[in-house]
Each structure stands twice: as structure tokens, then as C-alpha cells.
Structure 1
Amino acid sequence: MFSSPLRSPRPPPPPPTSSIFEQQDISPLLAAEIATEFSSLRAPNGCPEGIYLTPSKESLLRWNGVFFVHRGPYAGSILRFTLLFPLAYPQNGPSVRFDSEVFHPMVDPKSKIWHARGRLSQWTPRVDHVSHLLHSLKRSFKSKELDKVKEDEAFNKQVWSLYHHSQQTFISLTSQRSLNSLSRSTLFPDEYPVPPSPNRTRKISGQSITEEIGKQAIKFREIDKDEKSKLWEQLKDSLKG
């Protein structure tokens, strides 16, 4: 059994500056900008509840994330994503790319990149920040925000049409994908690997999806009954306090 956390944990402190420069060839100014963004997520309401982020070991320009969707038509989904910073940051904003297919009108079905609406669709340096992007991402999965998406804004017209004209079909499809995101092969790919197929090995930006999954920094571990009981007891104690 896998249970969603009640609140997002504080993100760990950014890696030391020395390790950053040994790790990748980026300017000290860019490293400082990104480290500041990560530290700001520790502020109250900095990182939305249900979203976890950690910098990748391969590059400071890449953060690995998991989004636990608690409400709305996507409720129950566990979605992995990657936050990618451009070398021109903060002049250009970061992008959010899901690691698997997400049935959403603002997610490009080919690139799996989620696109923000409104003010954040045009990034303003030193005004817009990662925290704003994450809160916008979370809101975009709720019915209230989905209602506001216009057809000319949608990056997946088929999903937009289903949501506005055939909600029963839309709910059915999102429910199927939500259940798939909870499957053992999705949550624990190391313990329950899926046999490779042409679709899982197609290239994305020079790397295969299989290689991308292998680099995920946030991994889940299946717990036994004793561990489950202990977690429930800890949860009850925390609610009493």
C-alpha cells in the first residue's frame, strides 16, 4: 500500500558551491541563482503541498520531482516530472516535463512538457520564480482551472475537447491513467520492471525514456505490514499533537 503524505517535506539544502562547479560547467552567477530558488522553497507556502523536488546528481540545471494529486479529476495520480533550467536563467524560465504521458490540455502529448497559462506563460525575470510555477502547476490539475482553458490555449486539443464536451469519457480516461500511476511497475520499476518496447526506448533530447527513468532521484520503496503499522501509529500520534 502506498499513502500520499499529508504535507510536502522541506526540501534539503542546496549542494555546496564547490560540488556544483565540480559537477558541471555553469557560471557561478547561474549556480547562485538556482541555489537561491531551491532555498526559497523552504519558506512557508514556498513549495505546494503534495509536490516533492530534489536536484539531480547529474546537473544542477535539472530537478527531479513527484506530484501527488489530491483533488480534482486527476485525484490519486502520482506524477513524476523534471524541472529543467535553461542556461539563460533567469532571463528565460524553467520548463516542466512529465516523465510519462499525462492526459491534460496544457501538456504537449509529444514533448510531455506542461505549459503555464496567464502571466507565467511569458516569464518575467526576478518577478516570476519556481515557487510560482509549482503553485500554477498544482492549480492547473483542478476543475476550476481546467474550466478556464480556452481551445486556442490548449496544447492537447483532443483532451480539451473531451473535457468540455464529453466529461464522462474524460473522467474515465484520467481514472485509468491514475490507476496506472499507482501500479507496482510504475512506483517500483527496479523491483517490477516492465519489458522494453519500441515506445519506451524512443529518444528524447538524445536520451531514451528508459535512461531517463533510471536517473530518477526520488524513488519509492514498498513497505511490509510491520512498517505500515508503525507509519499509521506515527500518523495518529502526529495528529494528536
Structure 2
Amino acid sequence: MPSRQQLQLEFAQRDISFQYAQLCLASNCPLGIYVQLDDDDTHLWHCVIFVSNGPFHGGIFRFDIVFPPTYPTSTPQVYFPPTLLHPLVDPDSGRLLLASRFQAWKPRVNFVTHVLHFVKEVFTEEFLQGLRERAVANTEVWRMFRSHRGLFNKLALQSVALSTAPSSLYDVSGGSGFPNPSIGLNRVQPRSVEGKVGRGAARVDDANGILFTKLDDDEMARLRGEIFGDEKEDEGEPSV
């Protein structure tokens, strides 16, 4: 007979798989966010957000969602690369502070889609304006936003530049453009890094996350044609 722990793990895996499947609905996955499952760890999702507005406009930030061993009674954790200078991102671990929205995770009330929508929201001007010091993970960056906005904007642009640099976008070595949840997990729950949760995230040198491939001019032209159509057709000329 399966143990209680095994049954809980099986239930969690089914719940995680179900929620991932629900992301195919347009309303469940925010525009500009893409998600893929880890190849080895069912409790780990790799994601990327293309920021379209706010101080971090133009940024392409990878992040990981880690489901703790006690999920679904515990809140999933979100990790960004520590190079992202944001009031809610811990500068050492890259963990996004979720407490301002999810003080306690409620199964069947809270879903991962809510976390994804929250991730998109934290980059907006309106959200940043409403933050209070007691709810932030990086007090220095928050105070900079409140009192030295010009300097904060420069740091935000620096985070954007780092996220879109070729060395970050096309990195396959698991460098600074990738989150590393094992840093934060080692502080809170060391055993989980060796077990199911965070196991994949600990393989920093494997670039364990969403990868981008640089296209040459011909590949880019072909892709543009597939998306926007042949310019000759738009001009009334027959396509070859």
C-alpha cells in the first residue's frame, strides 16, 4: 500500500500537470509569458516573460516556478536571476516575494495562473507605486524607486540590457541569465535540492531553462514571411 507521503506526491503531481494543461486557455496564461515543464522534475516549471510596459519595458526575464514538497498546501516559489534589480526580488537568491498577494496558499482557491498574472503585474508602474516597505524583499531598490526615481530607472534599464544581451539570451551554460532556485532552497529546505523539488534547478551548468536560438538573416526573413506574409503579395505581385 502506498504511504501517505507517496499519495500526497502523486496528488501534487496530478494537480501540477492539470494546471499546466489549463495554460492552453488564453485567459490562464498572461500575454507575454511562456512556460515549459522541466524534463526531469515535475515540480519545476521554466518560464520567461517579455515585459511590454513599465520601467522594465523591453526586458526578457527567465524565471522558475518551484512547487515545494508540501504543495498544494504550500505556496509555489518564483525565482528570477539575481541580476534583476526589483523591489520584490531578493538580491541574493533571486526569489520573488509573493506575500503581498499570497499570504497563505489556498488549494482550489489559488492557482498557478494567479501566480503568473502576479508576475506580470509586478513589472507595471501602478504596482510599483503601490508597494510599501514592509512588503518588499530589496529595501534599497524600493527606496531608490520612491526617492531617486532617475537612478532607479537607470538600474531598471541595466537589468533590461543584461536580460537582452546575446551573452544572456543565447547562453547554453546556465549563466547569469538563468534563475538558480537551489540558492534559495538551500537556505529554507536543504533536503529538497537533493530530492524531487529543485533537483533540476541545482544543475546550473546545464542551462536548465528556456533556451533561445539566434537566427541568421535567411532564417529571420523566412520567419517574418511566415508571420506577416510575403511583401510582394501585399504589393499585388505574385509570389514565387
Q: TM-score range by the shorter chain?
A: 0.7 to 0.9
Measured on the aligned residues, the alpha-carbon RMSD in Å equals 2.9
- Give the structure 1 partner of residue 129 of structure 2: 147
Query: Residue type matched to 1:237 in 2?
Result: G
Shift of 1:103: 0.8
Instruction: Give, in whole Å, the separation in 2 of the partners of 1:212 and 1:25.
Output: 30
Alignment TM-score, normalising by the size of structure 1: 0.78
1:34-53 to 2 correspondence within 5 Å? 34-53=16-35
In terms of mean alpha carbon deviation, does 158-167 or 96-105 score higher?
Answer: 96-105
- Give the structure 2 partner of residue 177 of structure 1: 159
Query: Residue type matched to 1:218 in 2?
Result: I
Task: Kindly provide the CA deviation profile for residues 76-109 of structure 1, in whole angstroms up to 9, marking residues without a partner as x.
Answer: 1111111000121111121001134211111111
- Give the structure 1 partner of residue 225 of structure 2: 233
Larger relative contact order (C-alpha < 8 A, sep ≥ 6)? 2
Instruction: Give, in whole Å, the separation in 1 of the partners of 2:209 and 2:91.
Output: 24
Identical counterparts, % of pairs: 29
- Give the structure 2 partner of residue 189 of structure 1: 171
Shift of 1:190: 3.3
Instruction: Give, in whole Å, the separation in 1 of the partners of 2:52 and 2:7.
Output: 38
Cα gap change, 1:25 to 1:222, in 2 (>3 Å): farther
Shift of 1:208: 11
> Is this contact kept in 2: 1:82–1:99, CA < 8 A?
no
Shift of 1:120: 1.9
- Give the structure 1 partner of residue 213 of structure 2: 221
Instruction: Give, in whole Å, the separation in 2 of the partners of 1:223 and 1:161.
Output: 40
Shift of 1:215: 4.0
- Give the structure 1 partner of residue 59 of structure 2: 77
Q: Which runs of 5+ in 1 are unaligned?
A: 1-23
Query: Residue type matched to 2:159 in 1?
Result: R
Structure with a larger share of its residues in helix: 2
* Structure whose CA Rg is larger: 2
1:11-160 to 2 correspondence within 5 Å? 27-160=9-142
Instruction: Give, in whole Å, the separation in 1 of the partners of 2:143 and 2:35.
Output: 32
Instruction: Give, in whole Å, the separation in 1 of the partners of 2:137 and 2:209.
Output: 28
Cα gap change, 1:68 to 1:59, in 2 (>3 Å): same
